[in-house]
Amino acid sequence: MLKSPQGQSRLPSQKRGHKRVQQILDAAAEILSDASEPLTIKSLAARSGTAPGSLYHFFSDIESVKAQLKEEYDAQLEAMLEKIKNSHPAQAWATMRPAAAIANLFTPYANFIIEHKAYLPLQEQSNFDFRNSRFLQFIIDVLTLRMPPERAPDIVKEAIFLHALSIGTLQQAGQHGKSLPYDFIPRILRVLALYLENIEQPPAQ
């Protein structure tokens, strides 16, 4: 079947459009992560090398840029979470040593946050409610498999603590230096593993 000249020209044009959109999103992520200036149409145009008028061909306003960037991050996190979930059956999550459980749970998530430094600032600006975090819910599910029945009332609270400790430490470390979060990951994992081992013990009589 012969392709029309119009059909031949549309594909390269679409590719250029997708490339430009990604360039704009990457620039927005840079601005959010380095926090040197607010994310505005003006700053985004300068950082992405796009004329302000051209930005409006792709995004209606700065909030739509944030929404698209958040959608990309959410899709990547969802895929990562499914991979973590499927890496071990429920029985394995229930019985593996605390250090192994923490490493399997938190290492991919920590690396994602470090590699996508705009993620946490974007969540804050989007007024994301971390109580709705899918990752937090998975931590709750894993603790439910692991902790003794006597500890059941504390599972949600302990999951929130583990989640907040890991995210908060990485976020603070990132403000002190680009390499510091990577240096902190092994320490965070050790602290979380020791804490998990402690709370998995039946309460003293």
Which tokens sit at 199? 């709370």
How does residue 128 score in pLDDT terms, banded at 50, 70 and 90? Answer: confident
Alpha carbon distance 159, 177 (integer Å): 28
The CATH-assigned architecture of domain 1-59 is: Orthogonal Bundle (1.10)
Rounded (10°) angle between helices 41-48 and 5-34: 110
Q: What is the pLDDT of residues 68-105, one digit of tens each?
A: 999 999 999 999 999 999 999 999 999 999 999 999 99
In the chain, domain spans? 1-59, 68-205
> What is residue 205's predicted lDDT score, i.e. its pLDDT?
60
**CA atoms of 81 and 78, how far apart (whole Å):** 5
Does residue 126 register a pLDDT over 70? yes
pLDDT band (50, 70, 90) for residue 121: confident
At 25 the pLDDT is: 95
For 137-196, write each residue's pLDDT tens digit.
Answer: 999 999 999 988 888 899 999 999 999 999 889 888 877 877 788 888 899 999 999 999
| pTM score | 0.76
What is the structure's pLDDT at 11? 38
Task: Among 50-59, 119-128, 171-180, name the most confident range.
Answer: 50-59
pLDDT of residue 88: 94
List the one residue out of 17, 21, 16 whose CA is nearest residue 59.
Answer: 21
* pLDDT score for 1: 40
Q: Beta-carbon neighbour count of residue 141 at 10 Å? A: 15
| Percent residues over pLDDT 70 in the chain | 90
